[in-house]
Amino acid sequence: MKPNLEVRIGALRMKNPVTVASGTFGYGQEYARYFDIAALGAVTIKSITLKPRAGNAPPRLVETPAGILNAIGLQNVGLDAYLAEKAPFLRKHGATIIANIYGSQPDEYCELARRLEEAHAADAIEANLSCPNVHDAATARGPALVAQIPERVAEYSRALRAATKLPLLVKLTPNVADIREPALAAQEAGADGVSLINTLMGMAIDPETRRPRLANVIGGLSGPAIRPVALKMVWDASRVLQIPVIGMGGICTAPDAIQFLLAGANAVAVGSMSFRQPDAALQIVRGLADYLEHHQIPDVNDLVGAIAT
Amino acid sequence: MPYVLDCEIAANDEAAPAHRRMRVCAPQIAREAQPGQFAMLQTADGYAPFLRRPMSFERVLPEAVAFLYKVEGEGTRLLAAMRPGQTISVHGPLGKGFSIDSTISRHILVAGGIGVAPLPALADAVTRACRRPPDVVIGARTKRFLLCGDVFRSMGCEVYLATDDGSVGEKGVASHVLERLAPNPDTQIYACGPMPMMRATAQIAARSGAACQVSLEAQMACGDGACLGCVVESIFENEGEKMVRVCTDGPVFDAQHIDWNAHNFAYDR
């Protein structure tokens, strides 16, 4: 018998628990030439903002041990171009869409969510409250990320909850002392789930030129280097939450994804690994199905939180 | 359409000190690869390094493609250690290559250092399209780092050399030699090399009315246009178009579309 792979994140039904991390999969088009993107549980799009954004000055990317440091700065096509060009492509290909959105105020998030819902251009909203790269170096130590302050997480989540009936995910930052606080704040404000984790803030310097390797000085670290940190945060958060967790951070293979499910994630997202292997997310869906069959587990949901401690 | 294929290495030999040429058997990729396009090569089975390395096609052969690379970092050191018979994962062909207008009379290829890498494939294609080999200017730091001179000569190209120390050819950079070749509006220039050399080449082209295509290089994660890590600033003012991706909008650009003043040369190595 084929095991059940379907999971639910609030009212969002995913045919399997594997999506992609925002910013690592473009708008789906970039990878549709490698595999059927509708075979994923969902496609999570690159953050969109109300207006197009050019993003940060280059260099924006540097490789670090088993990871990538980036400071893209939310370059994106903007909502109008997403609705006109990107969403129709995703719909035509039958993809389930998690629309990651970013704004500078709660109002902007609400407008994005409303217009996405009206246009049927999203099956769920993921509010990016945790981009580490939208301030320049001079102000990076100034305004904190929304996701670093539980009260602000609650404020933004409540506003969004009132603005849309779509399933609402809140994407949180690992750059906090205790991940449970912003996660609980999102839950209490009515979020249907939390996405853990965004990138870890980091930096790298060229000793020859004495320059930071990123023009933005600081960036966000992703890739297998951060996997143990992400896994622990998913474990911490899922034990205190009633709402689902989408786990992400350095997932490269099916065994990596299974670790996140065992730690308490209801679904997972594949991030940087798609850069190295364009069909990595699809291979993880297949690997997960094989694992369930091999271990005679009838339902993927049986793995969630099933760590043996 | 790009492929991700495990390919057998046919050769991996020294081309100059710290420079090597790798030929891999990749019939599907070779059938579709255009000059100026590139492939992402996986240098390790594990995650050190994690990302593939972008390499332009030096030659596109009937059943194989060749890459010319400089050994300077962890990834290229691992590539250098690979032996014929081993397999390597090749993702490509990727990006937009050179376009050749055969109605233009004179074609000049300008290379600086390892920037010569995509030009033999281009010289081949220009020769076929225009029924005449192009002129080639090759610049390098010193004589022993001059690459591909014999390759271009064997195609019948007129080859001009420049070295920083004057150890062979003209003392100076390749763009100085280009100026002496007096490009005009009926000239197509193609350049690949360090950013200062490409900017100088773009300025010479603009002054002389010649058309100019440049092949750019950048740190790159995906090669597919998804990560937005490899962008350069274009002359387009619109927020949505300002940053162009080296991987999918390029790597070959019309030199007039690049905002050379915006480039921060301090980050070039």
User: Which CATH number covers residue A277?
Assistant: 3.20.20.70
Q: Is A31 in CB contact (< 8 Å) with chain B?
A: yes
The answer as to whether A11 is a domain residue is yes
Whether A139 has a pLDDT exceeding 50, the answer reads no
Q: Is B51 in CB contact (< 8 Å) with chain A?
A: yes
The answer as to whether A46 is a domain residue is yes
The answer as to whether A1 is a domain residue is no
Q: Answer yes or no: do B267 and A31 touch at CB < 8 A.
A: no
Cα–Cα distance measured from residue A271 to residue A46, given in angstroms and rounded to the nearest whole number: 11
Q: Is B196 in CB contact (< 8 Å) with chain A?
A: no
Lowest mean pLDDT among A47-61, A135-149, A229-243: A135-149
The answer as to whether A211 is a domain residue is no
Which tokens belong to B29? 């990729």
The residue-averaged pLDDT of A73-102 equals 97
User: What pLDDT sits at residue A142?
Assistant: 53
A151, A154, A157, A162 alpha-carbon torsion, rounded to 10°: -120
User: What pLDDT sits at residue A64?
Assistant: 97
State which H helix or E strand residue B107 sits in.
Answer: strand B106-112
Residue among A131, A134, A252, A261 flagged as catalytic:
A131
Whether B58 has a pLDDT exceeding 50, the answer reads yes
State how far residue A205 is from chain B, nearest Cα, in angstroms.
11
CB-nearest to B226 from A24, A53, A58 is A24
The CA–CA distances, whole Å, from A58 to A61, A77, A217, B13, B80 equal 8, 18, 11, 34, 29
Whether A169 has a pLDDT exceeding 70, the answer reads yes
The answer as to whether A217 is a domain residue is no
State how far residue B222 is from chain A, nearest Cα, in angstroms.
4
Q: Identify residue A50 by its one-letter amino acid code.
A: L
User: What pLDDT sits at residue A138?
Assistant: 40
CB-nearest to B47 from A60, A62, A66 is A66
User: What pLDDT sits at residue A137?
Assistant: 39
**Mean per-residue pLDDT over chain B, rounded:** 96
User: What pLDDT sits at residue B13?
Assistant: 97
Q: Answer yes or no: do A59 and B232 touch at CB < 8 A.
A: no
Cα–Cα distance measured from residue B72 to residue B213, given in angstroms and rounded to the nearest whole number: 26
The answer as to whether A214 is a domain residue is no
Whether B184 has a pLDDT exceeding 70, the answer reads yes
User: What pLDDT sits at residue A136?
Assistant: 41
A110 is catalytic: no
Chain B residues with CB-CB distance to A210 below 8 A: none
- Count of the separate structural domains present in chain A: 1
In 3D, which of B193, B186, B189 has the Cα closest to residue B202?
A: B189
State how far residue A23 is from chain B, nearest Cα, in angstroms.
6
pLDDT tens, position by position, B23-53: 999 999 999 999 999 999 999 999 999 999 9
Cα–Cα distance measured from residue A129 to residue A152, given in angstroms and rounded to the nearest whole number: 9
The answer as to whether A2 is a domain residue is no
Whether B1 has a pLDDT exceeding 90, the answer reads no
Q: Is B5 in CB contact (< 8 Å) with chain A?
A: no
Query: Which chain A residue shows the shortest CA-CA distance from B225?
Result: A30
User: What pLDDT sits at residue A135?
Assistant: 57
Q: Answer yes or no: do B224 and A52 touch at CB < 8 A.
A: no
Parent domain of A180:
7-57+74-204+222-303
Interface test with A, best of B231, B235, B269 (most A CBs within 10 A): B231
B193, B196, B201, B202 alpha-carbon torsion, rounded to 10°: 110
Whether B266 has a pLDDT exceeding 90, the answer reads no
pLDDT tens, position by position, B92-150: 999 999 999 999 999 999 999 999 999 999 999 999 999 999 999 999 999 999 999 99
The answer as to whether A164 is a domain residue is yes
* Torsions phi, psi for B27 (to 5 deg): -55, -45
